[in-house]
Structure 1
Amino acid sequence: MDIFSVITLLGGLAFFLYGMNVMSSGLEKLAGGKLEIVLKKMTSNKFKSLLLGMGITIAIQSSSALTVMLVGLVNSGIMELSQTIGVLMGSNVGTTLTAWILSLSGIEGDNPFLKMLKPESFSPIIALIGVIMIMTAKHNRTKDIGKIMVGFSVLMTGMTLMSGAVSPLADSPQFSHILTAFRNPIMGVLVGAVFTGVIQSSAASVGILQALSLTGQVTYGMAIPIIMGQNIGTCVTALLSSIGVNRSAKRVACVHICFNCIGTLVILPIFYGLYWLLDFAFVGSAIDPAGVALVHTIFNIVTTAMLLPFTKLLEKLAYTLVRDSKKEKEAKEKHAMLDERLLATPAVAIEVCHGVTMEMAELSKTTMKLAINMLFQYDKATEEQIEENENRIDKYEDKLNAYLVRISKHSLSSKDSRTVSKMLHCIGNFERIGDHAVNIMESAHELHEKGLHFSGDAAKELRTLCDALLETLNMAYQAFEKDDLAIAHQVEPLEEVIDTLNLELKNRHIKRLQNEECTVELGYIYQDLLTNIERISDHCSNIAGVLIEIDEQQNIHKYLYKLKENDETFQESYHQYLNHYYLELGQPTLDEVVDA
């Protein structure tokens, strides 16, 4: 084996890792935010968690990516440690599928069907189909499938290059001499762990072992400890991802390490104990790629079956090894809202962002309700709560804006891209609604401090306008939460009603001033309140407008112009809402005016 073979081996490894990365990224985009939703909902039972871990790892072809995702979700406070243990075990079983796919490189025979199963035969065909899909497809989803196919082909090409690079070792006496060191199982475990830890890919490490097995120089006795070591080495990714996270997230990495280490520490002595007693004939036989895949699968299944009943003990062990500090025992840990580790899986990060955005929206809506109640019943504690909520809303906006901008720099599916765009546009409106809630609270504070009171008519009118505002607010927020265009289309008629009511209330206020039923000082406060309410309804219109503009691909200004000019459905909804609130004001409805 000369220097050119080494270069080819390293090049093959590079192809393998790049292909795995492209394929995993494509699969994650295809799965979208469903991963995070499923992880949260289906981890109540350890058997469900096990199957879920297997399924997701098979889907995204990366147990390391799933582990990093779990660390991020626990650090964000979305999942508990107990929910992740079964998923981690399942991911170890799911990752064995990659080894079976790679074992196709060891197929031999002249049968045309068998030849087609070899990577060098079918990889170019898959690559060609993938490239055609990428170049001709109009939809991003089809392009993502094409990228997955190209990534898979690059991965298999890398495997072929590695196999070809190490094939001269079959006749190398020096290589045979080096392999004698691996007759020591402890050395095999260490080499497998270190090498896998360095390249941070158990799939690539197993692939190289399968390539070496094609030389006929690697025996089962050498391969078994190396495979066990590879399972320990893959924990390095989880270990690195746990740097800078809270202790709950560190425990996820701890469980992952304990699971693989305990499996090796228990199974390796048992295997060699039985070998000493029964003298297994196959231990000295040469292993092939399928044999490597089989050993890898058996080890992970046996380890999982052995430790699955003891998930509670694994959890206790993690709490023992990663203990809370004194400060953390006195006070609850504050979870990071948006964990940077989730950026590795943008679809999951987007789902988490949507959840946090809804928390922000609910907080701004609650703050607005508190502010409106302050107008009719002043309370000092409520005033402090509104100010505290507004500060939290500002922090939400800063963190979400920065996080969403970072997500948008990744390659996203068209659906995820639209979701990010909606959130970026809407969080500013949620924040401004919080600001207006503070403005209303300040008006209520001024009324209380100066001992001023609105007249009975003015208070009743203000209550009616606030009822209309809260209905608009609830409708806009519901449209955003459910991403429901039907609800979004109902917001604009209500917003127009608030504008009409606002004008009516201003006219009534002017009459009261002329009749000296209201003071100028009260008039200023009343006008400020009407202005704030009108602007809040405008922000509700903006939220609904963003959904309509992005999903229906139309200019919102042209849409609103056409809507108010000649849309019968809009006019019907507008008159229906207006009649309802006119009745509350004691004003004749439009139907009554027409009849008169």
Structure 2
Amino acid sequence: MQVIGILFHLVGGLCLFLYGMKVMSDGVQQAAGDRMQQVLNFMTRNRFMAVFTGFIVTTLVQSSSATTVMLVSFVNAGLLTLTQSIGVIMGANIGTTTTGWIVSLIGFKFDIASLALPAIGIGFIARIIKWKHQAWGEAFLGFGFIFLGLEFLNTSLPSISSDSVIFISKLSGYGMGSILLSVAIGTVVTLLMHSSAATLTLVITLAFRQIINFEMSAALILGANIGTTIDAILAAFGAKTAAKQTALVHVLFNVVGSILALLFFKPLLTFVDFITPGSSSGEGITSHLAMFHSVFNIGCTIVFIPFVTQFAVLVKFIIKDDPQKEAAVPDHYHFVYRAASIQDTPELSILRAEKEIRDMAGIASSMYASFSEGLKALPETEDKDTLVNVLMDEMKVKEAYADEMRETLTAFLIACTREQINPRSGRRVTLLLRVIADLEDMTDDCCGLVYLLDRSVKKNQLIKGKEMEALVPYVKQVEDFLTLVREHLGRSLTAEQAHQARELEDAIDQARDRLRKLSRKRIEAGKDVKTELLFIDLVRRIEKLGDYCYDISSGLAKMR
């Protein structure tokens, strides 16, 4: 009964620790929100900055799983490259070692309850007050729960008798077999808990209470390092090839690093014992384990960082790129946005949605470009029916795909608003919903333009000569406006760019009025009325596309 009671205390303390990790990670990610990807993109220009970035981000969110899942998502969305992600993964492994130092330096050397309860109190008050830093209050609240979970773990073990844990002592008596078994146990436990930090905390607690020795504890930590790759693997399911390659980088880096550590296990422990003050038994074992974790991850990074390019080539050799598959346009839109980890937050998912919206803008842009080319080619083409039919088939497929994108992305963004997101992200979602609606309307109008071309062919109301010469520059103005919008989606327009958008809108309106006047004069001069009415209808629909572009650019100018 004593063992069962202690087991419940352990599980409860561990769950409280995990909950604290999740709350703190969510709070930090909500506070950072959509700036996280901008930081990653800016700071991954070279491999050393990428390592530093991974270290900082993981230290802040206290979860290498959150960082790697974030990376897989960003690579899948095309926001980061495979090479950029390798350095960040290395840095994330170093960043996760801060948890061990917090546990070893604070968890067993101070009155944790005196830290936990004030942190929870301050965090709770900061969380419920209506102010812009609520997310940091949640992060502070999570920090308090982490300390409280450590307190439960620390106080649940002091009364364990040697008889209660004699089976654990027996496990440590088989030399290398015990070490390999410990690695396997550490891997399985971490796979089940989805948190190497929780496994590390449990291992340090057991070692502090002298239930397991230094060797067994270090082997369990190596196992935890392997088990933590599960979240990256789950995040890569159903993703693109680059995302799967990123997940494989994490797996190979951790697994190969652990194998190297096992090959030099005894010398590695001796080195850690040499550079760490105190004994590797008793109270000193906590700092020894934190040092082991740090030396192991820093050492792996030092070994692998010169070979980042070769590492990327190896991963691409194992999981080969399929350009045809990646470039092919599927029949139906499919957006995988399931949460692959308990550390996911809506703010980070919104970044993925923004990339999909940029793709949607690309579809609208390609549809308009096809119309523009068809309009100019139509007078010179002998088989006009075939040209228009091919163009209509293309438009129907892309317009249906854009409809599916609108439905799926709108549902996803609305689901994000039901979660806890910061006010800035809430405003961003509102803007993105408007952008999605405008882009889908643009695809409808592109279809409408091609239908007008089809009507002009069937009724022999072709636009040519001076009318076409006057129309082409007008079509080009809207094409330039659409390019400006597509290139700046997801970013705030500068004052200069906003002014450029205003000038384009004014120029398009002026051109519309001028073309209408010319058409009316031609009607008065006796030109075919139906052809001129079709010309005016084309001018009106093209100008409407410019209105959508200006509506989107106005929203981007307000994005801060």
Query: What's the TM-score, normalizing by structure 2?
Result: 0.82
Residue from 228, 238, 261 that aligns with 1:234? 228
State the shift of 1:93 in Å. Answer: 0.9
1:173 matched to 2:163: yes
State the shift of 1:373 in Å. Answer: 5.5
Asked whether the 8 Å contact 1:129–1:146 carries over to 2, the reply is: yes
Stretch deviating more after TM superposition (81-90 or 189-198): 81-90
Asked whether the 8 Å contact 2:20–2:146 carries over to 1, the reply is: yes
Q: Give runs of aligned pairs for residues 359-508 of structure 1, distance below 5 A.
A: 359-372=359-372, 374-378=374-378, 384=390, 388=394, 391-392=397-398, 394-399=400-405, 400-448=409-457, 451-453=460-462, 462=471, 466=475, 482-484=491-493, 486=495, 506=516
Alpha carbons of structure 1 residues 334 and 404: separation in structure 2 relative to 1, 3 Å: farther
1:288 matched to 2:285: yes
Stretch deviating more after TM superposition (43-52 or 383-392): 383-392
Task: Provide the residue aligned with 1:307 in structure 2.
Answer: 304
Asked whether the 8 Å contact 2:75–2:81 carries over to 1, the reply is: yes
State the shift of 1:333 in Å. Answer: 6.7
Asked whether the 8 Å contact 1:216–1:287 carries over to 2, the reply is: no
Asked whether the 8 Å contact 2:245–2:319 carries over to 1, the reply is: no
- Which runs of no fewer than 5 residues in structure 1 stay unpaired? 109-114, 553-596
Task: Provide the residue aligned with 1:586 in structure 2.
Answer: none
**1:451-487 deviations in whole A, cap 9, x for unaligned?**
5455867556645765665576567667756433856
3-state secondary structure, aligned to 2:157: helix
CA distance in structure 1 between the partners assigned to 2:166 and 2:328 by the alignment: 56
Alpha carbons of structure 1 residues 446 and 199: separation in structure 2 relative to 1, 3 Å: same
CA distance in structure 2 between the partners assigned to 1:272 and 1:425 by the alignment: 61
Give the counterpart letter for 1:225 in structure 2: A
CA distance in structure 2 between the partners assigned to 1:397 and 1:39 by the alignment: 32
Give the counterpart letter for 2:165 in structure 1: F
**1:5-45 deviations in whole A, cap 9, x for unaligned?**
32222111111111101111111122222332343454453
CA distance in structure 1 between the partners assigned to 2:490 and 2:191 by the alignment: 42
Give the counterpart letter for 2:352 in structure 1: V
Asked whether the 8 Å contact 2:478–2:542 carries over to 1, the reply is: yes
Residue from 154, 160, 163 that aligns with 2:151? 160
Residue from 168, 171, 182 that aligns with 2:172? 182
Alpha carbons of structure 1 residues 305 and 402: separation in structure 2 relative to 1, 3 Å: same
Aligned length: 535
Task: Provide the residue aligned with 1:218 in structure 2.
Answer: 212
Asked whether the 8 Å contact 1:371–1:386 carries over to 2, the reply is: no
1:513 matched to 2:507: no
Alpha carbons of structure 1 residues 337 and 71: separation in structure 2 relative to 1, 3 Å: farther
3-state secondary structure, aligned to 1:340: coil
Give the counterpart letter for 1:256 in structure 2: H
Q: Give runs of aligned pairs for residues 304-343 of structure 1, distance below 5 A.
A: 304-312=301-309, 314-315=311-312, 317-319=314-316, 322-324=318-320, 328=322, 338-340=335-337
Residue from 532, 546, 559 that aligns with 2:541? 532
Stretch deviating more after TM superposition (537-546 or 3-12): 537-546
Asked whether the 8 Å contact 1:49–1:87 carries over to 2, the reply is: yes
3-state secondary structure, aligned to 1:411: coil
Q: Over aligned residue pairs, what C-alpha RMSD do you find?
A: 3.8
3-state secondary structure, aligned to 1:173: coil
Q: Give runs of aligned pairs for residues 8-19 of structure 1, distance below 5 A.
A: 8-19=9-20
Give the counterpart letter for 2:102 in structure 1: I
Asked whether the 8 Å contact 1:104–1:119 carries over to 2, the reply is: no
Task: Provide the residue aligned with 1:298 in structure 2.
Answer: 295
Asked whether the 8 Å contact 1:36–1:351 carries over to 2, the reply is: yes
Give the counterpart letter for 1:290 in structure 2: S
Task: Provide the residue aligned with 2:103 in structure 1.
Answer: 102
CA distance in structure 2 between the partners assigned to 1:119 and 1:194 by the alignment: 29
Asked whether the 8 Å contact 1:221–1:283 carries over to 2, the reply is: no
CA distance in structure 2 between the partners assigned to 1:147 and 1:274 by the alignment: 39
Asked whether the 8 Å contact 1:134–1:143 carries over to 2, the reply is: yes
3-state secondary structure, aligned to 1:430: helix
State the shift of 1:48 in Å. Answer: 2.5
Asked whether the 8 Å contact 1:210–1:292 carries over to 2, the reply is: yes
CA distance in structure 2 between the partners assigned to 1:160 and 1:288 by the alignment: 18
CA distance in structure 1 between the partners assigned to 2:490 and 2:231 by the alignment: 35
State the shift of 1:538 in Å. Answer: 4.0
State the shift of 1:191 in Å. Answer: 1.7
1:197 matched to 2:197: no
1:129 matched to 2:138: no
Stretch deviating more after TM superposition (51-60 or 244-253): 244-253
State the shift of 1:153 in Å. Answer: 0.4
State the shift of 1:415 in Å. Answer: 1.6
CA distance in structure 2 between the partners assigned to 1:189 and 1:28 by the alignment: 31
CA distance in structure 2 between the partners assigned to 1:477 and 1:84 by the alignment: 25
CA distance in structure 2 between the partners assigned to 1:47 and 1:94 by the alignment: 14
Alpha carbons of structure 1 residues 287 and 520: separation in structure 2 relative to 1, 3 Å: same
CA distance in structure 2 between the partners assigned to 1:529 and 1:263 by the alignment: 64
Give the counterpart letter for 1:101 in structure 2: I
Task: Provide the residue aligned with 1:148 in structure 2.
Answer: 139
Asked whether the 8 Å contact 1:372–1:440 carries over to 2, the reply is: no
- Which runs of no fewer than 5 residues in structure 2 stay unpaired? none
Residue from 247, 256, 259 that aligns with 1:253? 247
Larger Rg, first or second structure (1 or 2): 1
Give the counterpart letter for 2:291 in structure 1: L
Alpha carbons of structure 1 residues 12 and 337: separation in structure 2 relative to 1, 3 Å: same
Task: Provide the residue aligned with 1:346 in structure 2.
Answer: 346
CA distance in structure 2 between the partners assigned to 1:491 and 1:284 by the alignment: 69
Give the counterpart letter for 2:394 in structure 1: E
CA distance in structure 1 between the partners assigned to 2:243 and 2:348 by the alignment: 17
Give the counterpart letter for 1:163 in structure 2: N
Asked whether the 8 Å contact 1:364–1:390 carries over to 2, the reply is: no
Asked whether the 8 Å contact 2:399–2:443 carries over to 1, the reply is: yes
CA distance in structure 1 between the partners assigned to 2:511 and 2:270 by the alignment: 91
Task: Provide the residue aligned with 1:268 in structure 2.
Answer: 262
Alpha carbons of structure 1 residues 72 and 440: separation in structure 2 relative to 1, 3 Å: same
Query: What's the TM-score, normalizing by structure 1?
Result: 0.77
3-state secondary structure, aligned to 2:245: helix
Give the counterpart letter for 1:392 in structure 2: K
Percent identity, please: 27
Asked whether the 8 Å contact 1:251–1:319 carries over to 2, the reply is: yes
1:39 matched to 2:40: yes
Give the counterpart letter for 1:53 in structure 2: G
1:206 matched to 2:200: yes
State the shift of 1:288 in Å. Answer: 3.4
